[in-house]
Amino acid sequence: MTERLTLYSYWRSSAAYRVRIGLNLKGLPYETVPVHLVRNGGEQHLPDYARANPQKLVPILEHGQRQLRQSLAILEYLDEVWPTPPLLPATARERQRVRALAQLVACDIHPLNNLRVMRFFEHEWNVPQSERDVWMKHWMIEGLEAFETLLADHPSTAEFCDGHAPTLADCCLVPQVYNARRFGVDMAPFPTIRRIEAACLALPAFDAARPERQPDAPAAQPASAARA
């Protein structure tokens, strides 16, 4: 396993953020190739990138000659090829819960808030920014409410979403909370999520994966920075 790992990433992409956390938790060195999703109409549409990923989405993780797509499938791959430390718990039942939490974010919140969706609203339907923000927050709040309930009601919830070490669920939750804060979602109603987010961000693996730590992040990031 000496093949190089290269992540095609965008600093603010929450799917790329998930994979960065996973790579860091595994202690795997990787090279970042930034793909700017906004500049020049989106560098993910350039022919070389679109050939690698016909969906024109980030991230892609290259492992040697292989091009791996879809953030959760990439994380499962990392967990299979480098099993320690595990991103999934020990039993089928616990793994089911962790994957379901991860998918709550990856299937039911994030896809609705994606940049391409915002572009559709702006360019096809002329939906004003204020209404696009209502949409954003609607799905984030609905999803985070369910996530909070599923955490608060379950005995496996501890320092992290499942037990005493981060899993796939935490890899998805932290980027989602970053997005929620960015769009001004009031996080007060989600105490369990906030507590787990803080525990995660205290770990170097999560800290180094933060958007503002990425090589393609703008030099200064004031809270009011333009949305990308």
Summarize as ranges the residues that interact with its own copies (CB under 8 A).
Answer: 54-55, 57, 66, 68-70, 72-74, 76-77, 80-81, 92-93, 95-97, 99-100, 102-104, 106-108, 110-112, 117, 120, 124-125, 127, 131, 134-135, 138, 142-143, 145-146, 149-150
C-alpha distances in angstroms, 217 versus 10, 121, 225? 8, 26, 12
Q: Are 4 and 62 in contact (CB under 8 A)?
A: yes
Q: In this structure, are residues 97 and 154 in contact, taking their beta carbons and an 8 Å threshold?
A: yes
Task: Name the residue nearer to its own copies (CB basis): 20 or 110.
Answer: 110
The CB-of-44 to its own copies minimum distance in angstroms stands at 12
As measured in angstroms, the least distance from the Cβ of 116 to its own copies is: 8
Least distance in Å: CB of 111 to its own copies? Answer: 4
Nearer to its own copies, 36 or 95 (CB): 95
Residue type, 193: I
C-beta closer to its own copies: residue 98 or 200: 98
Query: Closer to its own copies at the Cβ: 107 or 228?
Result: 107
Supply φ then ψ for residue 136, to 5 degrees. Answer: -50, -55
Question: Between 142 and 212, whose beta carbon lies closer to its own copies?
Answer: 142
Residue 92: CB minimum distance to its own copies, A: 4
CB of 49 to its own copies, least distance (A): 13
Token couple for 211? 């958007």
